[in-house]
């Protein structure tokens, strides 16, 4: 309801777009590739060992006596070794259809201090560490920088969180579906005057107005209305009452991605399960599950060309802590989904959870850099070269062999 | 550049006001800060311990409802619980109104700024619907009395405070070998220990490692809280035996709260803490990338004074870099809307009397769109400092929308925009803003343009 109102108020702006002094008439290009790439940052450190449970590892059950694993908690067997957390049951049909999978025992190169904030910075900056300083752009933005002259709406950062992963010199659009802006053309011209000479403000406000106007165009209103219609009609959505900000974000992303947008990024938080993990992680997983189902339904035919990566800053301790939760760890899992993905499998080089196998005696040992998977997905989706990926986009990364995540 | 009254009010206060004179000197600012807290006396926010409904009130009523389940008294108990939630929600609105009213009416803006800075440094978030109205009382009790006092006193107040213990899971952490853990098969939770080192004291680049986190977590066990009995030090939950944090051994005998205080005092006095606080202070008040000399001076003041925050504040105000003409920082949304209300000379008593819905329409809803949902920061690191995090398309849409719509809601006789430029920005207002204000078609958009301008958004 709220969103419809927002689009209505935006509609009043549409006719004025041509007169706006803030819209610079520059020719921008659409993206030269078709694959839709969605990167969801799971803020707070998702416990990969609980989400994709290696219940075939003899050590796991002993590490998690009260959180529980496998059949005891109704986890769904995937391949005899791994089982899916029951809160992701709505996604199991996607897994069986090969539209969802996971990569396990992975992490960024970040080690030891286990700070959320540094961990997320490293994940989104795509760097081996934070020692260089100064480099404040994200790897998705550096991907965009490989194709100069793209329209800003090729890539969308969605929601209220700052998405470092998409920030940088290449233009990217950014919007949260519930911001409203309604100004007369005269005021818009004067705003340009009061931001003159302050580039930070100038850039942000002209984006704010330009995006509001783009949303007011007929195409955008229609796209949003269509998404709503598709939600109502989809059999997968039957009986699932989806609501909440994460669903709005996913609906918005789907609407843009059905059009010219090729990259969308947003975050889902609630993963910092220090206590009572069983119920806390189930809530976060339900949000993730709703989000992916909304994307799938909203994208319609474009789902077949979509790759969704769900990444987190690090994993959590293998051993549960004293309050039925887990503390900050190292290795974890990345989930992926999309009609363009080769899912139905858990890709891993399993290090084991036994005595002596754990990193620093406490965490799942990462056996591969999570950036390698993101790099190979971008390579297959956009055709960007290995040299560009290993050089500028992910500095100091060795991509290794292709895990062939895309069909 | 020496002291300047306009900069003092904009950068180290809560903004210019048409009816309140800015401070005359650094001495003047410090005298006010070290004097009585007049704003707190005029617009009262209760201490946490006195705030109602209390966690205990909610607890007791829930017990009554549980006992009445299945009986004909169940509906009545349910209704009482709903009513209590409404009272809590209204109390949160009253406390929010008091904070706005203080900012609009104070002659001691520095105290308001410092309170917000330290509340953010020791961020807590309510983890349940029944404590949402208790965040402001936490700040009133654990933070505000210490903003010109000793850092170690603030650290003690925070580290033993129910809001922090619950927010960072300390109340459920128990020593693996403690009596309670043995009996109940529970154990340690590192959350508070880690954030205390990373965020509250040494900083993430400080000289600590995972072992220190672990040992500190073991030492902090015993800090406990429950709705029925409030804060307690529970020796049944405390890990027996000594713990070694940063090379220093603590405890070893009967577990005592004093062992915890000892490590807190040592963390407060650590040189890495001085450095971390100094840098954060300089970043918050002066520039995202502050001059190194300023950081050094603040760290020295912190170290030499034994962490006296009044001395650190005065060192900031005595440093030439504090008075640079260029406004390098962007106001956070709360600072933006309060300085806007102050420039508009809104009646503080009317602000203090806002209902929940009035507060939401005039301020709270807007703050969320601007990226600062009130008292709900995303994590224990509080709100971001970097200007670019705030001045985004989304954030600007929210700021412009507030500037264009809220003033007319708060006052039906808006000032003349041509004069308002100088009320809000001082005599050296950006000429471009003065031009836009006189070129506006109406008062609403003229005033809105001044408030939305980069010159007003910066400090």
Q: How many residues are given for chain A?
A: 407
Query: Is the pLDDT assigned to residue B287 strictly greater than 70?
Result: yes
Residue from A118, A197, A204 whose CB has the most chain B CBs within 10 Å, to mutate: A204
Whether residue B293 is contained in a domain is answered as no
A338: Cβ contacts below 8 Å, ≥ 6 apart: A36, A38, A99, A303, A306, A307, A308
CA A246 from centre of chain = 11
Give the three-state DSSP class for B102.
Answer: helix
Average pLDDT, chain B: 94
Q: Which of A134-148, A173-187, A210-224, B268-282 has the highest mean pLDDT?
A: B268-282
Residue A71: half-sphere exposure toward Cβ, Cα within 13 Å: 2
The pLDDT value given to residue A186: 77
Which pair of tokens denotes residue A200? Answer: 């930070």
The pLDDT value given to residue B231: 95
Same domain, B340 and B450: yes
In angstroms, the CA B439 to CA A280 distance is 55
B-chain CB neighbours of A119 within 8 Å are none
Of B169, B387, B397, Cβ closest to residue A274: B169
Structure confidence at residue A218 as a pLDDT band (50, 70, 90): very low
Out of A229-233, B128-132, B262-266, least confident range: A229-233
Structure confidence at residue A20 as a pLDDT band (50, 70, 90): very low
In angstroms, the CA B115 to CA B121 distance is 10
Given CB atoms, is B188 within the 8 Å cutoff of chain A? yes
CB of A50 closer than 8 Å to CB of A250: no
- Name the one residue in this structure whose structure tokens are 């819209």: A23
Structure confidence at residue A275 as a pLDDT band (50, 70, 90): confident
Answer whether B198 sits within 8 Å of A115, measured CB to CB: yes
Instruction: Indicate whether this model's pTM tops 0.90.
Output: no
Arithmetic mean of pLDDT, B298-308: 98
B450: Cβ contacts below 8 Å, ≥ 6 apart: A194, B403, B417, B420, B421, B424, B425, B433, B436, B437, B456
The pLDDT value given to residue A211: 63
Q: Which of residues 221-250 of B touch A (CB under 8 A)?
A: none
Residue from B220, B454, B458 whose CB has the most chain A CBs within 10 Å, to mutate: B454
pLDDT digits (tens, 9 = 90+) for B398-411: 899 899 888 988 98
Structure confidence at residue A229 as a pLDDT band (50, 70, 90): low
Arithmetic mean of pLDDT, A61-70: 96
DSSP structural state of residue A68: -
Q: Considering only CA atoms, which of A253, A256, A255, A257 is closest in space to residue A227?
A: A255
Arithmetic mean of pLDDT, A154-183: 76
Shortest CA distance from A161: residue in chain B: B371
Whether residue B195 is contained in a domain is answered as yes
Tell me phi and psi for residue A405, to 5 degrees: -75, -25
B-chain CB neighbours of A205 within 8 Å are 393, 396, 400
CB of A314 closer than 8 Å to CB of A46: no
A-chain CB neighbours of B197 within 8 Å are none
Domain boundary among B219, B238, B269: B269
Of A176, A197, A198, Cβ closest to residue B394: A176
Structure confidence at residue A118 as a pLDDT band (50, 70, 90): confident
Query: Is the pLDDT assigned to residue A159 strictly greater than 80?
Result: no
Of A114, A269, A275, Cβ closest to residue B172: A275
Of A44, A190, A208, Cβ closest to residue B393: A208
- Name the one residue in this structure whose structure tokens are 């190292």: A330
Query: Is the pLDDT assigned to residue A9 strictly greater than 60?
Result: no
Average pLDDT, chain A: 84
The pLDDT value given to residue B101: 97
Query: Is the pLDDT assigned to residue B240 strictly greater than 60?
Result: yes
CB of A158 closer than 8 Å to CB of A295: no
How many independent structural domains does chain B possess? 2
Answer whether A187 sits within 8 Å of B381, measured CB to CB: no
Chain A and chain B share a number of CB contacts under 8 A equal to: 160
Which pair of tokens denotes residue A65? Answer: 């006596």
Question: Parallel, antiparallel, or unpaired for β A332-337 and A100-107?
Answer: antiparallel
Beta bridge partners of A306: A36
Structure confidence at residue A239 as a pLDDT band (50, 70, 90): very low
Structure confidence at residue A24 as a pLDDT band (50, 70, 90): very low
Of A200, A322, A360, Cβ closest to residue B189: A322
B-chain CB neighbours of A183 within 8 Å are 400, 404
The pLDDT value given to residue A28: 56
Q: Which of residues 440-459 of B touch A (CB under 8 A)?
A: 440-441, 445, 448-450, 452-455, 457-458
Whether residue B437 is contained in a domain is answered as yes
CA A85 from centre of chain = 20
Give the three-state DSSP class for B204.
Answer: coil
DSSP structural state of residue A304: G
B-chain CB neighbours of A201 within 8 Å are 391, 396, 454, 457
Q: Cα angle at B392 between B388 and B398, to 5 degrees?
A: 130
Runs of H (alpha helix) within B160-305: 162-167, 179-184, 191-195, 210-220, 257-269, 271-285, 292-304
In angstroms, the CA B379 to CA B124 distance is 8
CB of B194 closer than 8 Å to CB of B267: no
Give the three-state DSSP class for B106.
Answer: coil
DSSP structural state of residue A132: T
Domain boundary among B219, B251, B269: B269
**What end-to-end distance do the CA atoms of chain B give, in Å?**
16
Of B378, B432, B449, Cβ closest to residue A196: B432
Same domain, B265 and B360: no
The pLDDT value given to residue A177: 60
Answer whether A180 sits within 8 Å of B401, measured CB to CB: yes
Q: Which of residues 341-380 of A touch B (CB under 8 A)?
A: 360
The pLDDT value given to residue A241: 45
In angstroms, the CA B48 to CA B136 distance is 8
CB of A325 closer than 8 Å to CB of A350: no
The alpha-carbon gap from B397 to the nearest alpha carbon of chain A, in Å, equals 6
Given CB atoms, is A130 within the 8 Å cutoff of chain B? no
DSSP structural state of residue B236: T
Range of the domain at B378: 333-457
B23: Cβ contacts below 8 Å, ≥ 6 apart: B5, B8, B9, B13, B29, B32, B107, B110
Q: Give kind and range of the element (H or E) at residue B356.
A: helix B356-359
B-chain CB neighbours of A360 within 8 Å are 210
The pLDDT value given to residue A221: 45
Arithmetic mean of pLDDT, B279-301: 95
pLDDT digits (tens, 9 = 90+) for A43-63: 889 999 999 999 999 999 999
Whether residue B46 is contained in a domain is answered as no
Which pair of tokens denotes residue A160? Answer: 């209220």
Arithmetic mean of pLDDT, B132-144: 97
Q: Considering only CA atoms, which of B146, B135, B106, B131 is closest in space to residue B47?
A: B135
Residue A46: half-sphere exposure toward Cβ, Cα within 13 Å: 30
Q: Considering only CA atoms, which of B292, B280, B359, B279 is closest in space to residue B321?
A: B292
The alpha-carbon gap from A307 to the nearest alpha carbon of chain B, in Å, equals 26
Q: Which of residues 41-60 of A touch B (CB under 8 A)?
A: 43-44
In angstroms, the CA B261 to CA B270 distance is 14
Arithmetic mean of pLDDT, A295-302: 96
Answer whether B400 sits within 8 Å of A183, measured CB to CB: yes
Q: Cα angle at B391 between A18 and B2, to 5 degrees?
A: 125
Same domain, B342 and B264: no
Same domain, B347 and B446: yes
- To the nearest whole percent, how much of chain B has pLDDT over 70? 100
Beta bridge partners of A266: A40
- To the nearest whole percent, how much of chain B has pLDDT over 90? 81
Whether residue B70 is contained in a domain is answered as no
The pLDDT value given to residue A158: 84
Q: Which of A15-29, A227-241, A365-379 has the highest mean pLDDT?
A: A365-379
Residue from A190, A215, A270 whose CB has the most chain B CBs within 10 Å, to mutate: A190
Q: Considering only CA atoms, which of B382, B398, B442, B383 is closest in space to residue B417?
A: B442
Q: What angle do the packed helices B431-439 and B417-425 form, to 10 degrees?
A: 150
- To the nearest whole percent, how much of chain A has pLDDT over 70? 81
Given CB atoms, is B400 within the 8 Å cutoff of chain A? yes
CB of B141 closer than 8 Å to CB of B164: no
Whether residue B343 is contained in a domain is answered as yes
A-chain CB neighbours of B289 within 8 Å are none
In angstroms, the CA A44 to CA B159 distance is 22
Q: Can you say whether residue A115 is alpha, beta or left, with left for phi > 0 and alpha for psi between -120 and 50 degrees?
A: beta
Give the three-state DSSP class for A81.
Answer: coil
A-chain CB neighbours of B395 within 8 Å are 204
Query: Is the pLDDT assigned to residue A13 strictly greater than 50?
Result: no
Q: Give kind and range of the element (H or E) at residue A332.
A: strand A332-337
Question: Parallel, antiparallel, or unpaired for β B223-226 and B230-233?
Answer: antiparallel
Out of A30-39, A61-70, A266-275, B317-326, least confident range: A266-275
CB of A195 closer than 8 Å to CB of A201: yes
In angstroms, the CA A108 to CA A111 distance is 8
B-chain CB neighbours of A248 within 8 Å are none
DSSP structural state of residue A366: P
The pLDDT value given to residue A172: 86
Structure confidence at residue B439 as a pLDDT band (50, 70, 90): confident
Same domain, B349 and B451: yes
Query: Bigger pLDDT: B59 or B186?
Result: B59
A-chain CB neighbours of B398 within 8 Å are 179
Structure confidence at residue A3 as a pLDDT band (50, 70, 90): very low
CA B398 from centre of chain = 22
Q: Which of A12-26, A114-128, A160-174, A307-321 has the highest mean pLDDT?
A: A307-321
Query: Is the pLDDT assigned to residue A216 strictly greater than 50?
Result: no
Q: Give kind and range of the element (H or E) at residue A288.
A: helix A277-299
Same domain, B415 and B342: yes
Shortest CA distance from B436: residue in chain A: A190
A-chain CB neighbours of B188 within 8 Å are 321-322
Say how many C-beta atoms besides its own lie within 10 A of residue A203's C-beta. Answer: 17
The alpha-carbon gap from B31 to the nearest alpha carbon of chain A, in Å, equals 36
Q: Which of residues 28-87 of B touch A (CB under 8 A)?
A: none
In angstroms, the CA A44 to CA A61 distance is 24
In angstroms, the CA A166 to CA B450 distance is 32
Domain boundary among B236, B269, B302: B269
Please state the domain extents for chain A. Answer: 2-393
The pLDDT value given to residue B264: 98
Q: Considering only CA atoms, which of A215, A287, A292, A290 is closest in space to residue A255?
A: A215
In angstroms, the CA A345 to CA A347 distance is 6
A-chain CB neighbours of B440 within 8 Å are 186-187, 190
Answer whether A187 sits within 8 Å of B369, measured CB to CB: no
- To the nearest whole percent, how much of chain A has pLDDT over 90? 59
Query: Is the pLDDT assigned to residue A6 strictly greater than 70?
Result: no
In angstroms, the CA A320 to CA A49 distance is 11
Given CB atoms, is B316 within the 8 Å cutoff of chain A? no
B-chain CB neighbours of A175 within 8 Å are 393-394
The alpha-carbon gap from B442 to the nearest alpha carbon of chain A, in Å, equals 10
Whether residue B89 is contained in a domain is answered as no
Shortest CA distance from A179: residue in chain B: B369
The pLDDT value given to residue A240: 45
B-chain CB neighbours of A173 within 8 Å are 393
Answer whether A200 sits within 8 Å of B181, measured CB to CB: no
Tell me phi and psi for residue B326, to 5 degrees: -70, 130
Say how many C-beta atoms besides its own lie within 10 A of residue B339's C-beta. Answer: 26
In angstroms, the CA B263 to CA B248 distance is 9
**CA distances, B127 to each of A57, A70, B57, B124, B344 (Å):** 35, 30, 17, 9, 35
Of A43, A181, A325, Cβ closest to residue B397: A181
pLDDT digits (tens, 9 = 90+) for B209-238: 999 999 999 999 999 999 999 999 999 999
The pLDDT value given to residue A161: 67
The alpha-carbon gap from A323 to the nearest alpha carbon of chain B, in Å, equals 6
Query: Is the pLDDT assigned to residue A83 strictly greater than 90?
Result: yes
Given CB atoms, is B431 within the 8 Å cutoff of chain A? no
- Name the one residue in this structure whose structure tokens are 């962490």: B307
The alpha-carbon gap from A198 to the nearest alpha carbon of chain B, in Å, equals 7
CA A331 from centre of chain = 18
One-character DSSP codes across B18-72: SSSPPPSSHHHHHHHHHS--HHHHHS----GGG-SS-HHHHHHHHHHHHHHTTST
The pLDDT value given to residue A10: 26
In angstroms, the CA B150 to CA B147 distance is 8
Q: Give kind and range of the element (H or E) at residue A173.
A: strand A173-175
The pLDDT value given to residue B53: 96
Structure confidence at residue B24 as a pLDDT band (50, 70, 90): very high
The pLDDT value given to residue A27: 45
Out of A25-39, B143-157, B327-341, B343-357, least confident range: A25-39
């Amino acid at each position: 309801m709220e969103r419809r109102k927002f689009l209505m108020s935006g509609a009043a702006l549409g006719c004025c777009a041509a007169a706006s002094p803030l819209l610079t008439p520059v020719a921008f290009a659409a993206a030269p590739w078709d694959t839709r790439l969605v990167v969801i940052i799971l803020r707070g450190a998702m416990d990969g060992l609980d989400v994709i449970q290696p219940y075939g590892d003899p050590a796991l059950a002993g590490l998690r006596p009260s959180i529980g694993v496998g059949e005891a908690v109704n986890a769904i067997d995937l391949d005899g070794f791994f089982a899916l957390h029951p809160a992701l049951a709505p996604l199991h049909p996607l897994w069986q259809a090969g539209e969802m999978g996971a990569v396990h025992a992975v992490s960024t190169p970040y080690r030891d201090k286990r700070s959320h904030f540094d961990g997320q910075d490293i994940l989104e900056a795509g760097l081996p560490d934070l020692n260089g300083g100064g480099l404040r752009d994200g790897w998705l933005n550096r991907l965009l920088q490989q194709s100069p002259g793209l329209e800003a709406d090729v890539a969308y950062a969605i929601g209220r969180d700052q998405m470092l992963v998409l920030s940088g010199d290449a233009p990217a659009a950014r919007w949260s579906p519930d911001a409203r802006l309604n100004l007369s053309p005269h005021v818009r011209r004067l705003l340009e005057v009061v931001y003159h000479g302050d580039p930070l403000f100038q850039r942000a406000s002209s984006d704010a107005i330009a995006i509001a106007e783009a949303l007011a165009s007929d195409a955008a209103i229609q796209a949003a209305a269509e998404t709503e219609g598709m939600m109502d009609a989809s059999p997968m959505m039957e009986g699932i009452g989806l609501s909440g900000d994460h669903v709005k974000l996913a609906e918005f992303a789907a609407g843009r991605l059905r059009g010219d947008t090729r990259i969308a990024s947003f975050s889902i938080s609630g993963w910092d399960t220090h206590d009572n993990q069983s119920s806390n992680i189930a809530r976060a997983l339900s949000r993730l599950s709703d989000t992916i189902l909304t994307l799938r339904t909203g994208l319609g035919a474009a789902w077949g060309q979509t790759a969704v990566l769900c990444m987190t800053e690090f994993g959590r301790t293998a051993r549960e802590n004293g309050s039925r939760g887990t503390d900050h760890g190292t290795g974890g899992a990345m989930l992926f989904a999309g009609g363009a993905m080769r899912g139905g499998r858990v890709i891993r080089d399993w290090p084991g959870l036994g005595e002596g196998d754990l990193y620093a005696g406490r965490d799942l040992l990462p056996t591969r850099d999570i950036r390698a998977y993101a790099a190979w997905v971008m390579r297959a989706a956009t055709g960007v070269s290995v040299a560009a990926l290993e050089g500028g986009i992910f500095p100091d990364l060795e991509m290794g062999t292709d895990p062939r995540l895309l069909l | 550049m020496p002291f300047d009254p306009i900069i003092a009010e904009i950068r180290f206060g809560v903004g210019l006001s048409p009816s309140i004179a800015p401070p005359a000197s650094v001495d003047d600012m410090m005298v006010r800060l070290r004097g009585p807290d007049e704003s707190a006396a005029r617009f009262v926010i209760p201490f946490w311990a006195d705030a109602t409904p209390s966690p205990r009130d909610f607890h007791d009523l829930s017990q009554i409802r549980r006992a009445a389940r299945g009986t004909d008294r169940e509906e009545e108990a349910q209704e009482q619980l709903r009513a209590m939630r409404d009272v809590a929600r209204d109390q949160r609105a009253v406390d929010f109104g008091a904070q706005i009213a203080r900012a609009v009416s104070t002659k001691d803006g520095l105290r308001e700024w410092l309170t917000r800075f330290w509340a953010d440094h020791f961020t807590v978030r309510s983890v349940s619907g029944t404590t949402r109205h208790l965040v402001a009382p936490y700040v009133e009790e654990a933070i505000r009395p210490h903003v010109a006092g000793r850092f170690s006193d603030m650290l003690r107040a925070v580290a033993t405070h129910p809001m922090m213990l619950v927010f960072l899971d300390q109340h459920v952490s128990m020593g693996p070998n403690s009596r309670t853990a043995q009996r109940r098969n529970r154990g340690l939770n590192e959350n508070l220990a880690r954030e205390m080192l990373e965020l509250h004291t040494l900083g993430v680049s400080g000289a600590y490692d995972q072992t220190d986190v672990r040992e500190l977590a073991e030492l902090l066990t015993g800090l406990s809280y429950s709705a029925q009995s409030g804060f307690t030090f529970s020796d049944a939950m405390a890990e027996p035996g000594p713990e070694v944090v940063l090379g220093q051994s603590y405890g070893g005998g009967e577990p005592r709260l004093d062992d915890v205080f000892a490590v807190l005092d040592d963390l407060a006095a650590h040189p890495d803490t001085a450095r971390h606080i100094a840098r954060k202070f300089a970043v918050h008040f002066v520039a995202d990338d502050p001059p190194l000399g300023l950081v050094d001076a603040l760290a020295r003041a912190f170290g030499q004074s034994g962490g006296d925050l009044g001395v650190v504040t005065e060192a900031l105000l005595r440093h030439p870099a504090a008075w640079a003409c260029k406004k390098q920082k962007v106001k956070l949304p709360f600072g933006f809307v309060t300085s806007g209300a102050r420039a508009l000379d809104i009646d503080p008593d009317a602000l203090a009397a806002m209902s929940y819905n009035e507060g939401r329409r005039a301020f709270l809803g807007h703050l969320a769109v601007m990226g600062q949902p009130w008292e709900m920061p995303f994590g224990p690191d509080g709100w971001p400092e970097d200007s670019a995090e705030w001045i985004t398309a989304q954030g600007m849409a929210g700021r412009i929308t507030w500037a264009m719509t809220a003033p007319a809601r708060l006052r039906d006789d808006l000032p003349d925009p041509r004069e308002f430029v100088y009320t809000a920005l001082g005599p050296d207002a950006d000429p471009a803003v003065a031009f836009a204000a006189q070129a506006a078609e109406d008062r609403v958009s003229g005033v809105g343009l001044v408030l939305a301008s980069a010159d007003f958004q910066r400090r």
